[in-house]
Amino acid sequence: MKKILTVTVALFLLLAMTCSASAALVELYVYERHMLYDETFVLGDANGDESVDGKDALSIKSTVAGASMAEINGQAADFDADGAVSAKDSYALKLVNSGAKAIADYETVNGKKVNLYKFTIAGNDISKYSIVLSEDATDEDNSSLAAVYLRDYIEKATNITLPIVFGESNMTTEKMIRIVQYDFFSEKGQEYGADGLEYEVKDGNLYLYGALRGTMYSAFEILETYVGMRFYSNDKTFVYKNRAVDIPEGTTYEYCPKLRFRHASHTYGSGGALKHYFPNRLCGTQLYSYTQKLYGTLTGPLFSNAHSFNEYWKMGTGKIPEDTTGMTDEEIRAARWESGNYPDPYNWQPCATNNTDYEILFEGMLDCTLMAQDWHNEAHFEEGVTCISFSICDNGSYCQCRGCRKVAITQGEGYCGLNLMLYNRAVEDIQEYYPGVKLMGIMYAKDFPKTIKPHKDFIIIYCGVCCHNHIIGQEACYPEGGQCDGMKNDKDLVALKYWGEITKETGTEIWFWIYPVNYHYFLCDTPNVPNLYWNTRYLIDECGVDGFYYEGGGEAYSFEPVKAYAMSKLLWDSDMTYDEFNDVIKDFLYVYFGGGAEEIFEYMGMLTEAGDLSGTCFVNNFDRPGDMYSYEYLAENYEYMRGLLVSALEKAKSKDQQDHVLKALVCCDFMGLSSVHTDWYVNGENKELYCERYTWMYNTLIEQGMTTIFSTPDYYLVPSTIDFEINPMIQFYELGSRRDGVYP
C-alpha cells in the first residue's frame, strides 16, 4: 500500500512540475497589448445629448413606464448591467444625479474602469471560469496561444484574469473555457482541416475546437463577436464598450473559410503579426516567420515568394567546397549559396527546354528548401500547408532559343505552355523528395496552351488584372485601354475564364495576386475600394480562385489601412455580401477615424466617383494621380468633400483618430488644391482661401510627419518652401499625369 502511494505521489509531482513548466512558458507569449478603449456611449446619457442629467432620468422613467426603447440608448441606461432598462436603473441614475453615487461606481471592476462591465457565459459571471487546456498540451501548441489570447484580451476588457490550467482536474473554478485541439491527422482533425473552427456552450462551459489553427481562430471569433475586440492594427487593439454580454447556453458555431491561402499586407503599424495578422485569420507564409505550430502553421511557400528561379539558379550554380571535412550539411549549403551566380531577376529567365537549366533549377530548389529550414522556418509538408515556389523571375520575357520558340510558337503552346512544361516536370520530380507537396509558380503571359494542362499539384499564381479602374467582368474597359501599353482587362477576362475551366477539370489551385494598393503617390489615394469586393467576387465565383495575395504596403496616410483590413475580412468570409463588406469598412472607419465614420464613408465614395470619371483605364503601379482622377470632379466637389472630413475631425475621439483624420485632410487638400489651382489662384477667383489652405496643408503635413510622399523616399521630396505659384501636384510630383510629359 505504502509503495503504491509513493508512486502516486511521484507521478503527481512529476505532473505538477510539467504543468507549472508549461504554464511558465506560456507567459513567454505575453507582450504589451496596447489598447484603444472606445467610449462607445456614456453611461447615464440615455438620451444621447452628451450630458448626464435630469432629462436622462425622465427618458429612463418613461421607458420603464412603457415608452419606446427606440427613444433611448439602452446600454447607456443599463446601470445594473442586466441587459434591460428597469426601475433599478432609474433609481441608480437618481443616486448619480443627487451626488450620492458616481458614474464610475457602475463602471469599475476590481478598481479599474472597464469596457465590458458584465461578461457572462450561460449567465455565469466570467470570474467563475478557468481556461483549461488538455493535460498533455505544451507551450508549442496552438491551443496554448489561443489560451493566452483569450486570457489577456478578456482581462483587458473586463479586468478579470482567468487562470490557465492544464487538465480539467487541475481546475479550481466552477466553470471552464475548454480549448480542445485535435491532432491534425486524427479523424476529427481532418474534419477541421487547417482552418476549421467550432465553439459551443454546453452545461455552462464554453468549448473551443480546432486542429491546426482553428483553436486560435475560435478564440478570435469569441473576442471579436462577444468581447468587442477589433484587431485593427499592428500597434493597438480596439475594444467597444458594452454593459453586458452573454454567450448563451446552447450556442453553437462552426466555420471553415473557402479560401486556403489568405494574405493581406497590412499598412498600419510596424509591430509583429500577433496583433493583426493572426487575429484577422490571415495565413499566407509571406510573413517570412511564424511558421511554427504554435502559430497554427502558415500556408504557402517556405522560402522564396512568388519568384524563385533567380534564387534557385544562385544555389544550383553554387560550388560545393572541395574539402568538406568537418563541415555540417548546413555549412555546405551556406557555402554553396554564397558562391552561386545570381542572375538579374528583372531581365533573365531560364531556358524551358534545355535539360541542364532544368537540373540546375531543380537542384537549387532542393537545397534552398533545406536552407530555409536551416534558417528555422518550419516546413509542414505532411499537413499540406507548406508548398514550394518554382517560378519564373519577375519579368515578362521568355527564352527565345530554337527549342523554346518551337514549343511556344510552332506547336502553339504559347509562353504559358512553355512555363507549364517546366513546372509540371518539377512537380512530378519533387514527389520523390516530399510526397504530396505542391509547387507554385507565376503565370504572367495572357496566352494559353494548346494541349499542355497544369498538373493537379501545381498552384498557378495569376498576377493582377491590367486595369485598376474598371471592375473585371462587370465594367468594360475603354477600347484604347490605358496609357501604359494600352493595358485593359479584356485579355485577363479570357485567360482567367480559361484557367477557371481547365483547373476545375485538373483539380489545380489558382491563387491570385491582387494589386489595388497605392504604390507610389502617397498623398493621392487610389480610387478603387469597391473594386476590391467585386474583383474578388468575380475571381472566386467565375474563375474558381482558391487564394489571394493582397498587396498592401503603401503609406498609411488615408485609406490603405481600411483597404487591407476590409480585404482581410473578405478573404476570411469570402461569401459576404457587398452590404456586409461595406459594414466591415464602416466598422473600421469608426475604429480608425472615430465618430465621423459615415462622413468618411461618403468621402471615400466620392473619391471612387472621381476615379470612375477619370476617362481612362489605369494601372496603380504605373499611372499618376492625374490619370486616376477627374480633376474637374475634384474641383467641383472640393468644398463639400473637405467639409465631410472637417466634420469627421470634430467627431474623432482619441488623439490617434484625430491624427488619422488630419492626414486624410492633408491628402484631400493636396488633391483639391491641385484641382483648383488655376481657377482659385492663377485666375484669382479665390486667392486668399487658396493661400490659407495651402499654408495649413503644408504645415500640417510637416507636423504629421508625412514627409515620405513617394515609394522611393528620395525620389520625390516635400518641397522645402511654400510656393503658391506652382500647382502643388507639379511642385511635389513634377508631373500630374503621364499625359503631361514623359514618364521619368
Question: Applying CB under 5 A, which part among 151-159, 310-318, 404-412, 494-502 lies near Zn ion?
Answer: 404-412
Provide the minimum distance between the beta carbon of 482 and Zn ion in the complex, in angstroms, as a whole number.
7
Residue 360 engages Zn ion in binding (rule: CB under 5 A): no
Question: Applying CB under 5 A, which part among 4-12, 39-47, 461-469, 715-723 lies near Zn ion?
Answer: 461-469
Q: Which residue has the cell 531577376?
A: 345
- Residues 401, 181: Cα–Cα separation, whole Å: 54
Provide the minimum distance between the beta carbon of 408 and Zn ion in the complex, in angstroms, as a whole number.
9
Question: Applying CB under 5 A, which part among 11-19, 118-126, 184-192, 610-618 lies near Zn ion?
Answer: 610-618
3-state DSSP: the chain helix, strand, coil percent, rounded to 5? Answer: 45, 15, 45
Provide the minimum distance between the beta carbon of 501 and Zn ion in the complex, in angstroms, as a whole number.
24
Sign of the dihedral through C-alpha 285, 291, 297, 300: positive
Q: Of 573, 416, 424, whose CA–CA distance to 495 is shortest?
A: 416
Provide the minimum distance between the beta carbon of 297 and Zn ion in the complex, in angstroms, as a whole number.
37
Binding Zn ion (rule: CB under 5 A), the pick from 103, 109, 351, 682 is: 351
Say what angle helices 142-158 and 2-26 make with each other, to 10 degrees: 70
Provide the minimum distance between the beta carbon of 425 and Zn ion in the complex, in angstroms, as a whole number.
14
Residue 149 contacts by C-beta under 8 Å, 6 or more apart in sequence? Answer: 216, 219, 220, 223, 279
Q: Of 652, 461, 657, 470, whose CA–CA distance to 561 is shortest?
A: 657
Provide the minimum distance between the beta carbon of 706 and Zn ion in the complex, in angstroms, as a whole number.
30
Residue 477 engages Zn ion in binding (rule: CB under 5 A): yes
Provide the minimum distance between the beta carbon of 488 and Zn ion in the complex, in angstroms, as a whole number.
5
Taking the least distance from each CB to Zn ion, the nearer of 202 and 402 is 402
Taking the least distance from each CB to Zn ion, the nearer of 404 and 571 is 404
Taking the least distance from each CB to Zn ion, the nearer of 155 and 490 is 490
Residue 648 engages Zn ion in binding (rule: CB under 5 A): no
Taking the least distance from each CB to Zn ion, the nearer of 529 and 591 is 529
Provide the minimum distance between the beta carbon of 552 and Zn ion in the complex, in angstroms, as a whole number.
22
User: Pseudo-torsion of CA 686, 690, 691, 693, nearest 10°?
Assistant: 140
- Residues 744, 727: Cα–Cα separation, whole Å: 19
Whether the Cβ atoms of residue 426 and residue 436 lie closer than 8 Å to each other: no
Taking the least distance from each CB to Zn ion, the nearer of 385 and 399 is 399
Binding Zn ion (rule: CB under 5 A), the pick from 25, 102, 401, 722 is: 401
- Residues 443, 432: Cα–Cα separation, whole Å: 25
Structure-block grid coordinates of residue 581: 463588406
Whether the Cβ atoms of residue 528 and residue 493 lie closer than 8 Å to each other: no
Taking the least distance from each CB to Zn ion, the nearer of 75 and 353 is 353
Question: Applying CB under 5 A, which part among 63-71, 88-96, 462-470, 537-545 lies near Zn ion?
Answer: 462-470
Whether the Cβ atoms of residue 78 and residue 45 lie closer than 8 Å to each other: no
Q: What is the DSSP letter of 679?
A: I
Residue 491 contacts by C-beta under 8 Å, 6 or more apart in sequence? Answer: 446, 466
Question: Applying CB under 5 A, which part among 163-171, 227-235, 394-402, 705-713 lies near Zn ion?
Answer: 394-402
Binding Zn ion (rule: CB under 5 A), the pick from 132, 388, 399, 543 is: 399
Q: Of 475, 477, 453, whose CA–CA distance to 466 is shortest?
A: 477
Provide the minimum distance between the beta carbon of 66 and Zn ion in the complex, in angstroms, as a whole number.
58
Taking the least distance from each CB to Zn ion, the nearer of 245 and 422 is 422
Residue 493 engages Zn ion in binding (rule: CB under 5 A): no
Provide the minimum distance between the beta carbon of 382 and Zn ion in the complex, in angstroms, as a whole number.
36
Is residue 120 left, alpha or beta, with left meaning phi > 0 and alpha meaning psi from -120 to 50? beta
Q: Exposed (0-12), middle (13-18) or buried (19+): which is 713, by Cβ within 10 Å?
A: exposed
- Residues 382, 95: Cα–Cα separation, whole Å: 64
Q: How far is CA 542 from CA 402, 444, 454, 534, in A?
A: 37, 20, 19, 11
Site size toward Zn ion (CB under 5 A) is 11
Q: Exposed (0-12), middle (13-18) or buried (19+): which is 66, by Cβ within 10 Å?
A: exposed
Taking the least distance from each CB to Zn ion, the nearer of 160 and 467 is 467
Q: Within 13 Å, how many C-alpha atoms sit on residue 726's CB side? A: 13
Question: Applying CB under 5 A, which part among 3-11, 90-98, 473-481, 621-629 lies near Zn ion?
Answer: 473-481
Per-residue contact flags (x/-) with Zn ion for residues 114 to 153, judged by CB under 5 A: ----------------------------------------
Binding Zn ion (rule: CB under 5 A), the pick from 617, 634, 652, 673 is: 617
Taking the least distance from each CB to Zn ion, the nearer of 488 and 520 is 488
Residue 470 engages Zn ion in binding (rule: CB under 5 A): yes
Provide the minimum distance between the beta carbon of 468 and Zn ion in the complex, in angstroms, as a whole number.
8
Q: Of 82, 175, 178, whose CA–CA distance to 128 is shortest?
A: 175
Residue 484 engages Zn ion in binding (rule: CB under 5 A): no
> Could you give the angle at the alpha carbon of 15 between the alpha carbons of 164 and 134, nearest 5°?
45
Question: Applying CB under 5 A, which part among 361-369, 396-404, 413-421, 677-685 lies near Zn ion?
Answer: 396-404
How many other CB atoms are there within 10 angstroms of residue 21's CB atom? 13
Taking the least distance from each CB to Zn ion, the nearer of 377 and 469 is 469
Taking the least distance from each CB to Zn ion, the nearer of 20 and 341 is 341
Whether the Cβ atoms of residue 253 and residue 164 lie closer than 8 Å to each other: no
Quick check: helix, strand or coil at residue 421? helix
Taking the least distance from each CB to Zn ion, the nearer of 583 and 609 is 609
Continuous H helices in 45-202: 54-64, 74-77, 87-98, 142-158, 187-192
Q: How far is CA 253 from CA 144, 196, 222, 574, 617, in A?
A: 21, 11, 10, 17, 44
Question: Applying CB under 5 A, which part among 417-425, 447-455, 614-622, 663-671 lies near Zn ion?
Answer: 614-622
Taking the least distance from each CB to Zn ion, the nearer of 319 and 402 is 402
Question: Applying CB under 5 A, which part among 51-59, 68-76, 174-182, 463-471 lies near Zn ion?
Answer: 463-471
Taking the least distance from each CB to Zn ion, the nearer of 453 and 491 is 491
Question: Applying CB under 5 A, which part among 189-197, 225-233, 474-482, 693-701 lies near Zn ion?
Answer: 474-482
Residue 404 engages Zn ion in binding (rule: CB under 5 A): yes
Quick check: helix, strand or coil at residue 170? helix
Question: Applying CB under 5 A, which part among 133-141, 415-423, 466-474, 565-573 lies near Zn ion?
Answer: 466-474
Taking the least distance from each CB to Zn ion, the nearer of 345 and 553 is 345
- Residues 204, 121: Cα–Cα separation, whole Å: 7
Binding Zn ion (rule: CB under 5 A), the pick from 72, 77, 439, 467 is: 467
Provide the minimum distance between the beta carbon of 496 and Zn ion in the complex, in angstroms, as a whole number.
15
Provide the minimum distance between the beta carbon of 133 and Zn ion in the complex, in angstroms, as a whole number.
53
Taking the least distance from each CB to Zn ion, the nearer of 105 and 480 is 480
Question: Applying CB under 5 A, which part among 309-317, 460-468, 525-533, 718-726 lies near Zn ion?
Answer: 460-468
Binding footprint of Zn ion on the chain (CB under 5 A): 351, 353, 399, 401, 404, 467, 469-470, 477, 488, 617
